[in-house]
């Protein structure tokens, strides 16, 4: 056997567990620290718990919370962008609806200047359009369809 190649042997090495349990054993280290022992291991205690020495479960839960918060922020930003786009649509001039010349002139003469004016009137009382001279039920249907088409087109181009 060669001299001075073997580590020093400590017959009374002290082992300390994170649960507080200590005992002595023979080792090449004078002191040993361990995370788990027979006093705290779920197999020996019969207790089911997550053994998380590196904080993996906690890191996963934190990541999950951040993801949920990120998704909520994303939904808020999308809702805000949608609302801004709808407001921009309503602020457009009436000519943006690309209506027939006759319908456009009737609405212009009745002081409808923006798309928002027309949309508000359609939401409140669309029968008021029928009271305009030269504006009939067919014109009202076309106006509603054109407003819906223009809104969809505008919102798609804003995304």
The pLDDT score that the predictor gives to residue 53 is 64
pLDDT at 52: 62
CA 89 to chain centre: 26
Integer Cα distance of 73 and 133 in angstroms: 49
19, 97, 101, 121, 146 from 110: Cα distances, Å: 84, 16, 14, 12, 19
Spell out the domains of the chain, with CATH numbers in brackets. 10-45 (4.10.80.400), 87-158 (1.10.150)
* Structure confidence at residue 51 (pLDDT): 60
The answer to whether 103 and 142 have CB atoms below 8 angstroms apart is yes
Per-residue pLDDT tens listing for the chain (159 residues): 688 888 899 999 999 999 899 999 999 999 999 998 888 887 777 776 666 667 788 888 889 999 999 999 999 999 998 899 888 888 989 888 888 888 889 888 888 889 898 888 888 888 888 888 888 889 889 998 998 988 888 888 876
How far is 112 from 1, CA to CA, in rounded Å? 106
- Residue 37: count of CB within 10 angstroms of its CB: 17
Model confidence, pTM: 0.53
| Cα–Cα distance, 159 to 84 (Å, whole number) | 11
Strand order in the sheet with 22-27: 22-27, 10-17, 31-34
Q: Are 45 and 39 in contact (CB under 8 A)?
A: yes
Q: What does the alpha-carbon distance between residue 45 and residue 101 come to, in Å, rounded to a whole number? A: 86
């Amino acid at each position: 056997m060669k001299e001075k190649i073997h580590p020093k042997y400590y017959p009374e090495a002290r082992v300390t567990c994170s649960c507080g349990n200590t005992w002595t054993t023979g080792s090449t280290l004078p002191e040993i620290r361990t995370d788990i022992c027979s006093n705290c291991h779920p197999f020996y205690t019969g207790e089911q718990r997550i053994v998380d020495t590196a904080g993996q479960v906690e890191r996963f839960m934190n990541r999950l919370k951040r993801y949920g918060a990120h998704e909520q922020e994303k939904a808020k930003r999308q809702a805000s962008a949608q609302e801004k786009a709808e407001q921009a649509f309503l602020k457009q001039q009436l000519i943006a609806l690309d209506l027939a010349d006759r319908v456009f002139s009737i609405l212009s003469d009745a002081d409808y200047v923006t798309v928002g004016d027309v949309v508000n009137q359609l939401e409140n009382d669309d029968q008021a359009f029928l009271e305009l001279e030269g504006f009939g039920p067919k014109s009202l249907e076309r106006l509603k369809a054109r407003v819906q088409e223009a809104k969809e087109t505008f919102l798609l181009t804003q995304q």
